[in-house]
């Protein structure tokens, strides 16, 4: 009886160690995600900073949007999440400044999905500020206030910061997730949009 009990406990301990080992080795650095050579300074305090780099003109970002939006609503309590409209190309800058102008106006969330849908579903050519402004005005955005914010110092500074972060994180494309100034995850590395979120959650736990 005593021997059987010892065997049972030993078997349980082996199973527990095996399970933890599998969980810990579920994702491989350099394969499923990238560890940056140099950490990027974060602004999340005691929370784990998670960034999503995107571009409104990117079809992959549009496809990823429902997944990231769902995660955002149920993200871990210790996560500080921020979207970064990455200006990887000078032609992307109008979208970067439009995003930040709307954010300053308190209308970022309200028109975020609308801009994606206008470009990828309605096939509107919103690739310059004039077209973007006209579209947003048709949706009820105060054109004068929007234009004023787009040309403001505050938006210029945020756009420059987005550009610098894109460089610091060594971005080569979007969508891209970044965790706590240390890791990046692309859809190609992860194997899909759902997996990007799973690996993000894994790295958030790793950073606790």
Residue 58 in this model has a pLDDT that exceeds 70: yes
In a domain, 15, yes or no: no
The tokens for 34 are 């990238």
Domain count, the chain: 1
CA–CA distance, 54 with 50 (Å, rounded to integer): 13
Say what percent of the chain tops pLDDT 90: 87
Q: Cα–Cα distance between 77 and 208 in angstroms, integer?
A: 11
Domain-embedded: residue 16: no
Q: Which secondary-structure segment (H or E) carries 53?
A: strand 48-54
In a domain, 193, yes or no: yes
Q: What is the mean pLDDT of residues 37-62?
A: 97
For position 69, which CATH number holds?
3.40.30.10
Read off the pLDDT of residues 150-160 as tens digits, 9 standing for 90 and up.
999 999 999 99
Mean of the per-residue pLDDT values of the chain? 90
Q: Give helix 59-73 / helix 193-206 axis angle, nearest 10°.
A: 50
Q: Is 10 contained in some domain?
A: no
Please tell me the predicted confidence (pLDDT) of residue 208.
80
Picking from 32, 27, 42, the residue whose alpha carbon sits closest to that of residue 169 is: 42
Cα distance between residue 36 and residue 178, in whole Å: 10
Average pLDDT value for residue range 10-35? 62
Q: What is the pLDDT of residues 67-120, one digit of tens each?
A: 999 999 999 999 999 999 999 999 999 999 999 999 999 999 999 999 999 999
Higher per-residue pLDDT: 3 or 119: 119
User: Would you place residue 26 in the very low, low, confident or very high pLDDT band (cuts 50, 70, 90)?
Assistant: confident
Please indicate, yes or no, if residue 126 is contained in any of the structural domains.
yes
Contact (Cβ atoms closer than 8 angstroms) between residue 135 and residue 126? yes
Locus of tokens 């995003």:
99
Q: Give the pLDDT of residue 173.
A: 95
Provide the angle, in degrees to the nearest 10, between the axes of the packed helices 143-150 and 129-138: 150
Q: Give the model confidence (pLDDT) of 143-200 as tens digits.
A: 999 999 999 999 999 999 999 999 999 999 999 999 999 999 999 999 999 999 999 9
The predicted pLDDT at position 68 comes to 97
Question: Which pTM value belongs to this model?
Answer: 0.86
User: What confidence score (pLDDT) does residue 15 get?
Assistant: 39
1 domain residue, yes or no: no
Residue 7: inside a domain: no
Quick one: what percent of the chain has pLDDT higher than 70? 88
Q: Which domain holds residue 159?
A: 32-206
């Amino acid at each position: 009886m005593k021997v059987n009990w010892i065997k049972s406990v030993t078997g349980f301990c082996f199973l527990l160690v095996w399970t933890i080992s599998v969980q810990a080795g579920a994702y491989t650095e350099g394969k499923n995600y990238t560890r940056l050579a140099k950490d990027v300074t974060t602004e999340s305090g005691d929370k784990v900073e998670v960034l999503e780099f995107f571009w409104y003109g990117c079809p992959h970002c549009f496809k990823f949007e429902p997944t990231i939006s769902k995660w955002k609503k149920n993200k871990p309590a210790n996560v500080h999440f921020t979207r970064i409209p990455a200006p990887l190309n000078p032609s992307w800058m109008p979208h970067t400044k439009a995003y930040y102008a709307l954010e300053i106006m308190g209308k970022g969330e309200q028109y975020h999905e609308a801009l994606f849908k206008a470009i990828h579903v309605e096939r509107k050519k919103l690739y310059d500020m004039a077209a973007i402004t006209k579209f947003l005005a048709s949706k009820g955005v105060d054109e004068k206030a929007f234009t004023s914010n787009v040309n403001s110092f505050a938006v210029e500074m945020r756009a420059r910061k987005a550009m610098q972060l894109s460089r610091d994180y060594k971005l080569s494309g979007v969508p891209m997730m970044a965790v706590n100034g240390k890791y990046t995850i692309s859809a190609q590395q992860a194997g899909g949009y759902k997996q990007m979120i799973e690996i993000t959650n894994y790295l958030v736990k790793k950073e606790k």
